[in-house]
């Protein structure tokens, strides 16, 4: 069972205690996956049911081929820009000087700013979350050919809750493929249905944890028994698709990706929309909040 340190000044008990526990616990999700509140929207009932059941939904072609070319060129430009490479928002590969991620792309690039405000993304996010939304995080994830490293299994919400103070599971990520995502070049792996269970992880968040965790996460990752149980119960879906395809997934999906040793780079844009009713508070289990470029505390995108 979980053990939490309760603060008498905190009026309500944390429903998702993590990194304050002595061993792994599983907590059933309290929130809906698809929220009521908005009427209309581009997602069909079938799609909403799939998202509710699996915790994710894929689109073969959310972005048109000519737009992909433009976004790809912009990302290449950004990766080559010495100022952006030197920016603290750029994270390198653990074993090389290649770019692994660039955060807050919508503030670095006008092209990216236009994309994250695009109704094809925003309207889908609003429909899932049932309110107006704002951008919690945006980033480009690059997995270069030959030695692009992976991301170990994790729930984004576990980190966002512990380190950023996100109260509830009311955020949705949209990942847009700028290159073809094959089974062999480090595609996203999701355990469908895993979003219904919160995995509280032992291990205290170290000070400045994000500086290492964005390269290789070690705190806030589930134990092997949990992953084995989840994989046996839910299976593992490998999400592939051509450039221009996209995946929406719930903040609490158990997901990860393996390294990419193929010559085919894998570059995705990743935008997290949070409900305006789910604004960040103080971190639930970290000495200090992470920087704004990782977890925005801005006002709603539109409302």
Cα 76 to the chain's mean position, in Å? 22
Output the smallest distance, CB 91 to a second copy, in A.
19
With beta carbons less than 8 A apart as the criterion, state whether 211 and 17 touch: no
Output the smallest distance, CB 267 to a second copy, in A.
16
Residue-level length of the chain: 303
Output the smallest distance, CB 228 to a second copy, in A.
4
With beta carbons less than 8 A apart as the criterion, state whether 151 and 236 touch: no
Q: Which of 112, 289, 278 is nearest to 210 (CA)?
A: 289
Output the smallest distance, CB 85 to a second copy, in A.
20
Q: How far is CA 294 from CA 15, 23, 78, 117, in A?
A: 23, 27, 18, 18
Output the smallest distance, CB 143 to a second copy, in A.
11
Residue among 25 and 262 whose Cβ is closer to a second copy: 262
Cβ neighbours of residue 18 closer than 8 Å, sequence gap 6 or more: 158, 161, 162, 198, 199, 200, 201, 220, 284, 285
Output the smallest distance, CB 259 to a second copy, in A.
5
Residue among 144 and 165 whose Cβ is closer to a second copy: 144
Sign of the CA dihedral running 15, 296, 219, 186 = positive
Residue among 92 and 145 whose Cβ is closer to a second copy: 145
Residue among 134 and 151 whose Cβ is closer to a second copy: 151
- 25, with CB counted inside 10 A (0-12, 13-18, 19+), is middle
Residue among 36 and 263 whose Cβ is closer to a second copy: 263
Binding site for a second copy (CB under 8 A): 145-146, 150, 152-153, 182-184, 186, 189, 224, 227-228, 230-232, 236, 238, 256, 258-264
Residue among 224 and 291 whose Cβ is closer to a second copy: 224
């Amino acid at each position: 069972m979980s053990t939490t340190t309760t603060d008498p000044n905190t009026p309500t008990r944390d429903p998702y205690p993590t990194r304050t526990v002595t061993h792994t616990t599983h907590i059933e999700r309290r929130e809906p996956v698809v929220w009521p509140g908005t009427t209309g929207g581009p997602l069909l009932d079938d799609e909403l049911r799939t998202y509710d059941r699996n915790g994710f939904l894929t689109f073969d072609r959310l972005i048109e081929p000519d737009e992909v070319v433009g976004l790809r060129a912009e990302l290449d430009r950004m990766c080559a820009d010495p100022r952006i490479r030197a920016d603290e928002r750029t994270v390198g590969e653990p074993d090389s000087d290649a770019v692994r991620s660039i955060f807050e792309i919508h503030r670095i690039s006008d092209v990216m700013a236009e994309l994250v405000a695009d109704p094809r993304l925003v309207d889908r996010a609003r429909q899932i979350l049932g309110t107006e939304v704002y951008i919690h995080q945006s980033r480009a994830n690059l997995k270069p050919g030959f030695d692009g490293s992976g991301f170990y299994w994790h729930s984004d919400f576990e980190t966002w809750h512990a380190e950023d103070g996100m109260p509830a599971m009311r955020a949705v990520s949209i990942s847009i493929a700028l290159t073809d995502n094959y089974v062999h070049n480090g595609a996203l792996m999701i355990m469908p249905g895993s979003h219904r269970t919160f995995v509280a992880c032992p291990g205290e968040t170290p000070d400045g944890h994000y500086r290492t965790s964005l390269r290789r996460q070690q705190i806030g990752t589930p134990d092997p028994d949990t992953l084995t149980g989840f994989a046996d119960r839910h299976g593992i879906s490998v999400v592939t698709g051509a450039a221009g395809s996209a995946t929406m997934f719930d903040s609490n999906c158990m997901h990860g990706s393996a390294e990419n040793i193929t010559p085919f780079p894998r570059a995705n844009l990743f935008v997290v929309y949070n409900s305006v009713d789910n604004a960040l508070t103080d971190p639930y289990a970290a000495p200090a909040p992470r920087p704004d470029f990782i977890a925005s505390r801005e006002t709603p995108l539109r409302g």
